[in-house]
Amino acid sequence: MSRTRRDAASRRQAARRGRHAERLCCWHLRLRGWRIVARDWRCPSGEIDIVARRGAVLAIIEVKARGDLSAAAASLLRRQRRRIARAAEAFLLSRPNLGSLSLRFDVMLVEGLRLPRHLPGAWRSDE
């Protein structure tokens, strides 16, 4: 198998793993009283894995699935956090009814077949 085929197969496998992790995180959030407002929301400035609401809190959630939790946590780079924050601004402009909620940036880490680990307030939009 050529290198480009292996690379494409690896990207497809990573995308499948990421979609599975996002589904798992959505169920985890629902079971804890969160309402999923949007999934895989995209705009020209970035994308958001999950937007969830519970009470007066609107959480912008990035899902990271890796072989271990420390690798998952380390994979969220500053550049990506800024892109997510810009996408969150665009999302709120498209949904003005949510603008009065308290905005929070969370990360959910998924390691193998274990339950996701939810890290509320993992970063601020000004970082």
- Mean pLDDT, the chain, rounded, equals 90
13 or 121, which is more confident? 121
Alpha helix segments (H runs only) across 32-118: 69-74, 78-94
Task: Work out the pLDDT band at 2, boundaries 50, 70, 90.
Answer: low
Res 53: pLDDT: 98
Res 47: pLDDT: 95
Q: What is the pLDDT of residues 86-120, one digit of tens each?
A: 999 999 999 999 999 999 999 999 987 789 999 99
What is the distance between the alpha carbons of residues 74 and 59, in angstroms, rounded to a whole number? Answer: 20
C-beta atoms surrounding 26 within 10 Å: 20
Task: Work out the pLDDT band at 8, boundaries 50, 70, 90.
Answer: confident
35-43 and 46-54 as β-strands: parallel, antiparallel, unpaired?
Answer: antiparallel
Res 112: pLDDT: 79
Which residue from 66, 49, 61, 74 is spatially nearest to 112, judged by alpha carbons? 66
| CATH code that applies to domain 3-123 | 3.40.1350.10
What is the distance between the alpha carbons of residues 29 and 51, in angstroms, rounded to a whole number? Answer: 11
Res 49: pLDDT: 97
Element (H, E) at 95: none
Q: What is the pLDDT of residues 55-68, one digit of tens each?
A: 999 999 999 988 77
| Residues in a beta bridge with 63 | 108
